[in-house]
Amino acid sequence: MFNVLCRDSLSIAGINLLQATPGLNVIVNNEKADKLGAAGIRELLREADGVIIRSDTKMTPEILKDQPRLKIIVRAGVGVDNIDLDAATRAGIVVMNTPAGNTTSTAEHAVTMMMALSRYIAPADASMKAGKWDKKSFTGTQLAGKTLAVVGLGRIGQSVARRAIGLEMKVVGYDPFLSIEKAAEQGITLYRDIDELLPLCDYLTVHTPGGAETKSLISAERIAKMRKGVRLINCARGGIIDETALADALESGHVAGAALDVFETEPLPADSRLLKTKNLLTTPHLGASTEEAQESVAIEAAEIISGFLIRNEVRHAVNMAPITSTEMADMKAYLDLGRRLGLLLAQQNKSTGVKSAVVNYRGEAASKKTKLITNAFACGLLESALDESVNIVNAELLARERGIEITETTSTEPSDFHTMVQAIVQTDSGELTASGTIFGKQFLRLVRLGKFSIDAYLDGTMLIYRHRDVPGLIGYIGQICGRHQVNIAAMALGRLQERQGGDSVAILNLDSEPSNEVLEEIKKHPEVTGVEVVKLPKAGAPLPWLVSK
Ligand code: NAD
Ligand code: MLT
C-alpha cells in the first residue's frame, strides 16, 4: 500500500480518483504551510510515498533532506519554482507537474485583466460603491485595432494571442524558441529582438517562465522604449516586469495602467508600494483559480502519481527520464556529452532565433541510443528557455512544437576520433557548430568549435576568446587572470592556418567566474576579436533529469 499525501486544497475530483484507486492510502492535509512550519511538513512527509502539492507548500532542501520513503512529488500546476529541484533530484525524488491543465484559465485571466484595465472596471466599481455616479473619470480604451505584444509564446502566450486576435487586436510577439513561420501561421508577427517590438505596442503581456533568466526582462530601460500610455500585464511570475520600474512608470504616467496577478513576494505585503500605485489592477495569483483548471490539474496529478507508484509510468517528469539503471551505465557519458553540446551552443546563440539543429553521430556514438543523446542535446539547448520542465523525454517534442526541427544522422565509420558527436544549430543569423568526443569511458572533450579544431575540456567555466595568433597574447591574458585572482585550470588552442598571425580560438577552463572587468581588459588587446564566457556543469555533475536510486 502506498501513502499519498494531498496538500494545498487539491480539488476533490483528484482526491476522489486517488481514493478509488486500489493500492493507495490517501491522506489529506490542507493546513497552511506557514502554520505547519518546515518541521510539521517534514513530519507529514515521513510517512508519504508520494505527495501532491499546489503552490503553498515549499519543498526546500531542509524539508526534502532525509525523507527515505518519499519517491515522488507532483505539482498540480505548471510552475515548479516552489520545489528545490536539485535537492529533490539529489534525494532521488521524482518531480512531475501538470503542464497543460490550467493553460486556458490562465490565458483567460490575462485577457480579463487586459479588458478590466482598459475599462477601469475595478475603480469604477469602487467609485459606485462609494456612492458616486462618475462617468467622466473612467473613459476607457477600445482593444480592437490596438497592438498587443506577447513576450513568451509557449502554451499560455499562444493561447492569449489567439484570444487577442479574436478581439481584433494586432499581435506581435517575442520568443527566441518559436520559429517565425510557426508564429505567422497563428497570425503573430514575431520579432527576433525584443527591443524592436517595444515601441510598437499599446499593450504588453508576459508569459515566460520566472527565475533568474527572466528577472526584470521588462526593465526600466525597456519600459522607457514603449509608447507613453502603454498598458502592461503580468500573469506569469512576479518580477518579470520589474516592480520598482513599473511603479515609477505608473506614477509618472508613462505607463497608463498595469495588471499584476503575480508578485516578487507572495503574498504581497500589505505595505507594498505597489498597492498604493495608481492605475494598478491586482489579483492574488488567481490565474489558475477556476473550478475547471483546478479539477483538471488535480485529476491529472492523481493519474500521474498513481501511474508512477503502481505501474512505474513516468509522465511529465521534470527531473528524470525513463531509462533503466543498466542502460544508464552505458549511456551516461553520451547523454552528458549531448547535453553539454546543447548548453554550449545555446549560450553561443546570442538571442537570435533557433531554426533547426542536426546531430551527427560518427563511430561508436552511432551504435548507441542516439535518440536519447539527441534528446539530451535538445535539453541542453532549451533548458534555460523553457519553464523548467524540459527533460530527456519531452525536449525534442517541445522543440518541435516551437517549430525547431532537430534531426540526426549516423555513420558507424569512425572519423578522426573513434567516437564523435557533432551538433549544428541553424539560427536566424547563421550556423553554430560544436563537436565532442569521449576519451576512455567518461572524459568529455570538445574537439571542434565552429571552424576550429581544438582539444578542450567540456566543463565548468569556459572563457572562449577569438584572436589572431601572435606572440605574447597568452601571457597578456594569463597576467590579467592572475591579477584578478582567476585561476586557469586548463587551456586549449585551435588555429585555422597552422601559422603565426592566423585566426585562432582559445578556451581557458577557469576555477572561478571572471568579472566583467577581466573580460573588458581582455577585449582591449588589438588582436582579440571576441570574448565570451560559457558556463557548463562541473565534470561528473549528475544529469538533472536522471535519478539513479
Ligand atoms: P511554457 O513553457 O509553455 O512557455 C514559456 C515560453 O517562454 C516558452 O515558449 C519559452 O521559449 C519562452 N521564453 C523563455 N525565456 C524567454 C525570454 N527570455 N523571452 C521570451 N520568451 C521566453 O509555459 P506556460 O505554461 O505557457 O507558462 C508561462 C508562465 O505562466 C510560467 O511562468 C508559469 O509558471 C506561469 N503560470 C502562471 C499561472 C498563474 O496562476 N498566474 C498559471 C499557470 C502558469
Ligand atoms: C502554476 O504554476 O500552475 C500557477 O502559478 C498556478 C498555481 O500555482 O496555482
The pLDDT tens digits of the residues spanning 443-487 come to 999 999 999 999 999 999 999 999 998 899 999 999 999 999 999
The predicted model gives 11-33 an average pLDDT of 97
Given ligand 1 and candidates 75, 78, 316, which is best to mutate, with the most ligand atoms within 8 Å of its CB? Answer: 78
DSSP output for 247-312: HHHHHHTSEEEEEES--SSSSPPTT-GGGGSTTEEE-SS-TT-SHHHHHHHHHHHHHHHHHHHHH-
For the stretch 496-508, pLDDT in tens is 867 777 889 999 9
For the stretch 78-90, pLDDT in tens is 999 899 987 887 6
Give the closest residue (by CA) to ligand 2 atom 5. 79
- Record the cell numbers describing residue 340, joined without a space: 553539454
- Residue, of 172 and 308, whose pLDDT is higher: 172
For the stretch 232-243, pLDDT in tens is 999 999 999 999
Contact 7, 51 (CB under 8 A): yes
- Ligand 1 pocket residues where CB is under 6 Å: 78-79, 99, 102-103, 106, 151-157, 174-175, 177-178, 207-210, 213-214, 217, 235-237, 261-262, 285, 287-288, 385-387
The predicted model gives 151-155 an average pLDDT of 97
Given ligand 2 and candidates 8, 55, 207, 318, which is best to mutate, with the most ligand atoms within 8 Å of its CB? Answer: 55
For the stretch 251-289, pLDDT in tens is 999 999 999 999 999 999 999 999 999 999 999 999 999
Task: Give the ligand at the shortest distance from the Cα of 301.
Answer: 2
Ligand 2 in contact with 79 (CB < 6 A)? yes
Task: Give the ligand at the shortest distance from the Cα of 98.
Answer: 2
Checking if the pLDDT of 402 tops 80, the result is yes
The catalytically annotated residue of 266, 295, 364, 405 is 266
- The per-residue pLDDT for 455 is 96
The fraction of the chain above a pLDDT of 70, given in percent, is: 95
Q: pTM of the predicted model, to two decimals?
A: 0.74
The residue type of 190 is L
The residue type of 143 is L
- The per-residue pLDDT for 429 is 86
The catalytically annotated residue of 237, 445, 466, 495 is 237
Task: Give the ligand at the shortest distance from the Cα of 233.
Answer: 1
**Euclidean distance between CA atoms 471 and 468, whole angstroms:** 10
Q: How close is the Cα of 288 to the center of ligand 2, in Å?
A: 6
**pLDDT level of residue 326 (50, 70, 90 thresholds):** low
Q: How close is the Cα of 206 to the center of ligand 1, in Å?
A: 8
**Euclidean distance between CA atoms 299 and 285, whole angstroms:** 21
For the stretch 184-237, pLDDT in tens is 999 999 999 999 999 999 999 999 999 888 999 999 999 999 999 999 999 999
Given ligand 1 and candidates 208, 234, 350, 355, which is best to mutate, with the most ligand atoms within 8 Å of its CB? Answer: 208
- The per-residue pLDDT for 393 is 58
Place of cell 534528446: 375
> What residue spans in the chain does CATH classification 3.30.1330.90 cover?
332-545
Q: How close is the Cα of 163 to the center of ligand 2, in Å?
A: 20
Q: Is 540 left (phi over 0), alpha (psi -120 to 50) or beta?
A: left
Contact 235, 205 (CB under 8 A): yes
Identify which of 193, 218, 220, 199 has the alpha carbon closest to the alpha carbon of residue 207: 218
Checking if the pLDDT of 549 tops 60, the result is no
The CATH class, in words, for 332-545 is alpha beta
Q: How close is the Cα of 78 to the center of ligand 1, in Å?
A: 9
Checking if the pLDDT of 387 tops 70, the result is no
The residue type of 461 is T
Question: In degrees, to the nearest 5, what angle opens at C-alpha 385 toward C-alphas 244 and 107?
Answer: 70
Contact 187, 165 (CB under 8 A): yes
Question: In degrees, to the nearest 5, what angle opens at C-alpha 269 toward C-alphas 103 and 41?
Answer: 70
Arithmetic mean of pLDDT over the chain? 92
Checking if the pLDDT of 56 tops 80, the result is yes
Ligand 2 in contact with 288 (CB < 6 A)? yes
Strands 2-7 and 50-53: parallel
Give the closest residue (by CA) to ligand 2 atom 2. 79
Q: Around Cβ 513, how many Cβ atoms within 10 Å? A: 12
237 is catalytic: yes
- The per-residue pLDDT for 350 is 76
The fraction of the chain above a pLDDT of 90, given in percent, is: 79
Place of cell 588552442: 493
For the stretch 406-431, pLDDT in tens is 999 999 887 889 999 999 999 988 99
The catalytically annotated residue of 163, 285, 339, 340 is 285
For the stretch 91-129, pLDDT in tens is 768 899 999 899 999 999 999 999 999 999 999 999 999
**Euclidean distance between CA atoms 293 and 300, whole angstroms:** 11
- The per-residue pLDDT for 384 is 77
| CATH code, residues 2-101+292-311 | 3.40.50.720
Q: How close is the Cα of 209 to the center of ligand 1, in Å?
A: 4
> What residue spans in the chain does CATH classification 3.40.50.720 cover?
2-101+292-311, 103-282
Q: How close is the Cα of 197 to the center of ligand 2, in Å?
A: 28
- Record the cell numbers describing residue 181, joined without a space: 513561420
| CATH code, residues 103-282 | 3.40.50.720
- The per-residue pLDDT for 394 is 65
**Euclidean distance between CA atoms 240 and 218, whole angstroms:** 6
Q: How close is the Cα of 236 to the center of ligand 1, in Å?
A: 6
DSSP output for 460-496: SEEEEEEEE--TTHHHHHHHHHHHTT--EEEEEEEES
Ligand 2 in contact with 77 (CB < 6 A)? yes
DSSP output for 349-383: S-SPPEEEEEEEEEEGGGGS-HHHHHHHHHHHHHT
Checking if the pLDDT of 336 tops 90, the result is yes
Ligand 2 in contact with 102 (CB < 6 A)? yes
